Amino acid sequence: MRIEIPVIPPAERTPLVEALLAIIDAQQQRLAQLEETVQQLRDEIAIRKGQKPRPVIAPSRLETPPPPLPAPGSKRPGSDKRSKNASFLTPLEVTIPFPDPPPGATSHGYEAYVGQERVRHGKVTRYLRERILLPEGQTLLAPLPADVLPGRHFGPTRIGYLLDQQHHGNVTQPLLREQLRALGIAISAGELSRLLTENHDGFHQEKAELLATALEVSSYVGVADTGARHAGKHGSCTAIGNDLFAYFARTDRKSRINFLEVLRGTATASTINLVSLAYWERPQLPAAVVDKLRAAPVQFAAAAAWQARLAELGSVAKWPVRLATEGAFLGQVSDQGAAPDLVILAAGAPPFDLLVQASCWVHAARPLARAVP
């Protein structure tokens, strides 16, 4: 650590001040050398004990100043218009006649529709869709084949490949785009981002169903969380899993209520049951509050209904309200199928201290490994 010395005007730089500044500078240099020596010794001890030395962390590129904005009236770099078909492979043309046109209909030519697909090499198909004119003046267009996704110019095999490369191969979007362009497939950065992030409701539904099903069949789950920034805001990423599944959820905060909301999944209900009552006994929720909560109703379908129930408790401190909410959320998690004796392996972290708590031997061994005999 280097101490920044304030600027001293030349008029105040007496011989004594100059001598003191020289001593301070020499001591700071000596401290820096000693800190480096101590770190080297710590790294050597870690290596001799089979551990990893302190990693060298590069400075964050987020602090790099942004590039200067283009001058007024000029275009930003790379914004020049170019033909989207300039780098296409030679397309395979498929003519699609209109199936079973109504009597009296006449052909009105063909309308081009370009679709791209990825096989072992780039493949581009240009569908010529017949347009017919009905006697009453209405025009109809021949439908595309069943294997062409509606409204998309990219095939299902290609989209599946892109999703697999990003989510399982950890390939970034710029590298994916470069790979596709090397195959002769034209795609913009915006279109690639839309393919990877939009219209994936089926995946989100599968993720929501995964956690609920996993809690029903699991005897234990391991839980951990870490800080995660998203859209320029600080947040938290919670990881839940065991040898059967892995589930990740990003939230805006860390708390026990937040963890219970993750366990509830897409559900918004709150339930008071035996699991809730057992939970309230541990932190000794006031008996008067418990008696009011045990009275009907005990099932609340939405957050507004639960908040209205809390309002009926009257003016109580914040911590009973928080404990009541935690117990109602935990009761809902149990009502959805989680076992009351579900073991939560979380190294004793307070936000995860629910049901049956367990610690990990790895966490217990860390301070022992760091000890220097």
The CA distance from 364 to 345, in Å, is 13
Q: Is the pTM of this model over 0.75?
A: no
* 222 in a structural domain: no
* 174 in a structural domain: yes
* 183 in a structural domain: yes
- Least confident range of 69-83, 153-167, 355-369: 69-83
SS (H, E, C) the chain: CCCCCCCCCHHHCCHHHHHHHHHHHHHHHHHHHHHHHHHHHHHHHHHHCCCCCCCCCCCCHHHCCCCCCCCCCCCCCCCCCCCCCCCCCCCEEEEECCCCCCCCCEEEEEEEEEEEEECCCEEEEEEEEEEEECCCCCEEECCCCCCCCCCCCECHHHHHHHHHHHHCCCCCHHHHHHHHHHCCCCCCHHHHHHHHHCCCHHHHHHHHHHHHHHHHHCCEEEEEEEEEEECCEEEEEEEEECCCCEEEEEECCCCHHHHHHHHHCCCCCEECCHHHHHHHHCCCCCHHHHHHHHCCCCEECCHHHHHHHHHCCCCCCHHHHHHHHHHHHHHHHHHCCCCCCCEEECCCCHHHCCCEEECCHHHHHHHHHHCCC
235 has a pLDDT exceeding 60 = yes
**Closest Cα partner for 299 from 265, 269, 261, 266?**
269
For 159-203, write each residue's pLDDT tens digit: 888 888 887 778 888 898 888 888 778 888 888 888 888 877 888
* 168 in a structural domain: yes
The CA distance from 350 to 352, in Å, is 5
* 236 in a structural domain: no
**Closest Cα partner for 212 from 248, 287, 266?**
266
For 113-157, write each residue's pLDDT tens digit: 888 876 656 678 888 989 999 988 899 999 988 878 777 777 777
* 162 in a structural domain: yes
* 205 in a structural domain: no
What's the structural domain count of the chain? Answer: 1
* 330 in a structural domain: no
Bond from prior residue into 53 cis (ω within 30 degrees of 0): no
57 — phi, psi (to 5°)?
-100, 120
- Torsion sign (Cα): 171, 186, 119, 112: positive
Can you give the residue range of the structural domain that contains 170? 157-197
- Least confident range of 41-45, 46-50, 96-100, 107-111: 46-50
